[in-house]
Amino acid sequence: MRVANISRWFRSPAKGHVAGKINEETGSSMVETALVIPLFVAMMVGAVEFGTIAYAKIEVSNAAEAGAHYGMQSASNAGDVTGIQNAAGNEAPDITLGSTTVSHSCICSNGSTSTCLSTDCSTSHIETILTVGTQTTIRPKFHLPVLPTSYTLYGQAVQKVMQ
C-alpha cells in the first residue's frame, strides 16, 4: 500500500502545473528577446561607427605628422607645400583628405620673438617652426537618428625645421 501512495504522488497534478509554468516562461523570454534585440543591434552599429571614426581620426593625425616630418628635413622642404601635401596624402590612403594647410613661424634660439627676417636674432639664430594641419569629413555608413550625418576630423603637427 505504501508503494501505491508514492506512485500516486509522482503522478499528481503538480507535475502538470510545473509544465504550465515552463510554457509561461518561454513566452516571456520571447518578449524579452524581442525587446532586447533592437537595442543590441543599435549598440553594435554604434560601436562600428565609433571604430570607423576613431580609425579615420588616427589617419588624419598621422597624415599631418608625415607632412611635418617631410617639411622639417630642410629649409627647402619646409617651403615645398606640394611635397608636404603629397607626403600627408600618401600617409592616409584609406581616406580622402579635405585640405592640408602649411604655415611657418619663427623664434630666436634664445627665446625672443622673431618675424622670420634675417635681421632678427642678432645674438642667436632663427629657428623656423613648421605647422601642418589636415582635415577630412567622413559620413558614416549607417546613420542612427541621434547621431550626426557627418563628422569633420582635424589633425595637426608642429615641428622645428632643421637648419
135 pLDDT tier (thresholds 50, 70, 90): very high
| Residue whose entry in the numeric block shows the C-alpha cell 605647422 | 131
CA distance 110 to 123: 8
CA distance 71 to 85: 10
**Residue whose C-alpha is closest to residue 63's, from 111, 134, 126:** 134
Given a contact cutoff of 8 angstroms between Cβ atoms, the answer to whether 25 and 101 are in contact is no
**Residue whose C-alpha is closest to residue 66's, from 103, 95, 106, 100:** 100
Q: What is the pLDDT of residue 82?
A: 92
Least confident of 21-30, 62-71, 109-118: 21-30
22 pLDDT tier (thresholds 50, 70, 90): low
**pLDDT tens track for 95-104:** 888 889 999 8
Supply angle C-alpha 90, 94, 100, rounded to 5: 50
**H or E, element range at 76:** helix 75-78
Q: What is the pLDDT of residue 145?
A: 77
